[in-house]
Structure 1
């Protein structure tokens, strides 16, 4: 036998716990049990009741290799239950506090592999006396600041643990047994036993499995609904076609701004989409005043041939430096959206702000050379919209006149 703890233990609300992880739930610990003093209904934890509501009681914890002798008569209350720890060292934990003492169930707390099921015997004496707030002291004889009665409680407790069945391999194979009331004498114990007996039985294994399946179904339903709403938000309030879902890159801005245009472009053939991409890039560069630079000719020639622009035209900083004669200065801004304004409101406010058209136009050239013609068209259109800024309605009207096929898109 090893003594794991022997001394005063603070209790509150008549509770103290042994746990290898989280604290047990009161109803869950006692549901389905006969006894109401030692709740072992939740794996890895024991919920222990005391007569004292608040104060320090004497508490002793012993661990045995095999079943000890029956509790001596000094113990007025004796109950037993089965306990499956989740760690070789568990903790004695007061209510609302951290660990009071570690309780190594194995020698030196060594992890010897799969832990056995333990049988627990919880013994108590003086529970009725402990229910007295002053524990037998006369409150009229106590000084105002004398809290002796809190530290000298009349109830005492003993917790014994041992592996179920015999020691050795037999104990590892043992299964939990039903709890039992071995001895009962006090009104306090009778009250808690009656309370436990009145609890609804714990859910069966099948009920637990079914509840978990329902939780998973509901979780998946919520996830799908979130994904659906997020997709609608990103695509301007209308579910995209499968073809649009395949598009990558910076295409959601144009979808939020003009979803009908996006559907029209998506319904057009790849050839029309490529033409739109090149057209949008030229319009953006024209508005920025850089479309007719002599050294830009190789880029436009490559696009007209259905090829991506040469490498020297695909790097934003290099293009900027060549156009302006100096590298760009990078900075960032933070925008606070007013309450009640949605994505469309914020997008319009951003596009209406004054912009430098040159850096806005540069991404259109790179977008026009994308391998996916639909992505090329949508990204180039968005770059052109950003370049036109407050005049964006002019661009949107122009593209519809230039490519009338997009005005009556096939709806998906």
Structure 2
């Protein structure tokens, strides 16, 4: 037999724990047990009740090679539980504090393979006296500034461990047995035993597994529903086709402004999409007065042949400088969002503001050269809408006239 701990142990709320993992849940520790003094329902943890609510009680912990003799008569309350450790060394942990003592359950405190199931006997004496706030002392005889009575509690406890399999072969072959109340004398113990009996029956392992499966399935369902609703919100209340979903780039402005047109462009063949991109770029540049600039001819030629833009036409800053004859100036405009305004209302309000047509039109030219025809069409359309600004409805009507195949207004 080895003594793992022998000394005063602080308790609060009448609790102290032995644990090789996180602290236990009280109800889970005692649910389904006959005794309410030593809860072992959570593997790796013992939840120990004391008569003293707050103070220091005498605690002794022993490790035996096999089952010790019957508890001496001095121990008024005795219970037993099976304990499944999660590590070769456990800790004695007071409520709301760090470990008080390390308790090695193997000779060196190290895992040497499979750990045994332990039987644990918890013995108590003086629990009723300990439940008295002053521990049986007369408060009238204690000075108001004398708190030493908290260190002189009348209740004391013994905790004995031994491997369940030590008398029947390999200790690791031990099995978990039901807990038992071997002796009951105090009112305090009777109260906790009655409380434990009233707890709901704990779930079996299979029931816990099934509950976890259901929880995960519900979590997945909720996450999927959130994803679907978030996608609906981002796509203007209508889920996109897979082709449209794969498009990268700045297309959400067009989604908010004219979702029917976006769907119509997405449903068109790639040749039509490419024609829309070039047409929208020409319309925007024409409005800005730069479509027929001589040196831009190579750009239009390349786009109309379905090829990429020449490199000199892909730098927007350089293009603006060349057109405007000097360094460009970037103007940042900040606006306050009206409370309760819908995104579409905010977008229309922004488009109604004054714009630099050249600055708005040149991105349409670059967009028309994108390798993805659908992205090219949608980004060029958006740049053209931004160029037309408050006249955007005029431009959108022109798109439908030029390309009737994309008019989805009455579809569905």
- TM-score by length of structure 1 reads 0.88
Within 2, Cα distance between the matches of 1:316 and 1:107? 76
Displacement, 1:279? 1.7
Give deviations 1:319-374, integer Å, cap 9, x for gaps: 45655677778899988755534433443444445555545444433332233322
Within 1, Cα distance between the matches of 2:338 and 2:21? 45
Displacement, 1:21? 2.4
Give the equivalent residue in structure 2 for 1:278.
Answer: 278
Within 1, Cα distance between the matches of 2:17 and 2:359? 66
The answer on whether the counterparts of 2:31 and 2:200 sit within 8 Å (CA) in structure 1 is yes
Give deviations 1:63-108, integer Å, cap 9, x for gaps: 3444334333322222111122223333322223333333333344
Call closer, same or farther: CA 1:78–1:325 in 2, change over 3 Å. farther
The answer on whether the counterparts of 2:84 and 2:117 sit within 8 Å (CA) in structure 1 is yes
Call closer, same or farther: CA 1:286–1:47 in 2, change over 3 Å. farther
Within 1, Cα distance between the matches of 2:212 and 2:156? 41
Stretch moving more, 125-134 or 136-145: 136-145
In the alignment, structure 2 segments of 5+ residues that lack a partner are none
1:121-270 equivalences under 5 Å are: 121-166=121-166, 170-270=170-270
Three-state SS of the structure 2 residue aligned to 1:165 is helix
Give the equivalent residue in structure 2 for 1:91.
Answer: 91
Give deviations 1:269-325, integer Å, cap 9, x for gaps: 222211111122223334445434433322221110011212343345554565567
The answer on whether the counterparts of 1:267 and 1:410 sit within 8 Å (CA) in structure 2 is no
Give the equivalent residue in structure 2 for 1:393.
Answer: 393
Three-state SS of the structure 2 residue aligned to 1:79 is strand
Within 2, Cα distance between the matches of 1:237 and 1:114? 57
Within 2, Cα distance between the matches of 1:320 and 1:20? 70
Call closer, same or farther: CA 1:15–1:237 in 2, change over 3 Å. same
Give the equivalent residue in structure 2 for 1:367.
Answer: 367
The answer on whether the counterparts of 1:83 and 1:118 sit within 8 Å (CA) in structure 2 is yes
Three-state SS of the structure 2 residue aligned to 1:228 is helix
1:244-393 equivalences under 5 Å are: 244-316=244-316, 319=319, 337=337, 339-393=339-393
Within 2, Cα distance between the matches of 1:96 and 1:203? 28
Three-state SS of the structure 2 residue aligned to 1:32 is coil
The answer on whether the counterparts of 1:263 and 1:409 sit within 8 Å (CA) in structure 2 is no
Stretch moving more, 343-352 or 392-401: 343-352
What root-mean-square deviation, in Å, do the aligned CA atoms of Structure 1 and Structure 2 show?
3.0
- TM-score by length of structure 2 reads 0.88
Displacement, 1:165? 0.9
Establish whether residue 46 from structure 1 lines up as the match of residue 62 from structure 2: no
Displacement, 1:189? 0.8
1:73-84 equivalences under 5 Å are: 73-84=73-84
Three-state SS of the structure 2 residue aligned to 1:102 is strand
Call closer, same or farther: CA 1:56–1:375 in 2, change over 3 Å. same
Call closer, same or farther: CA 1:68–1:233 in 2, change over 3 Å. same
The answer on whether the counterparts of 2:260 and 2:408 sit within 8 Å (CA) in structure 1 is no
In the alignment, structure 1 segments of 5+ residues that lack a partner are none
Within 2, Cα distance between the matches of 1:59 and 1:331? 76
Three-state SS of the structure 2 residue aligned to 1:133 is coil
Give the equivalent residue in structure 1 for 2:10.
Answer: 10
Displacement, 1:61? 2.6
Displacement, 1:44? 2.0
Give the equivalent residue in structure 2 for 1:30.
Answer: 30
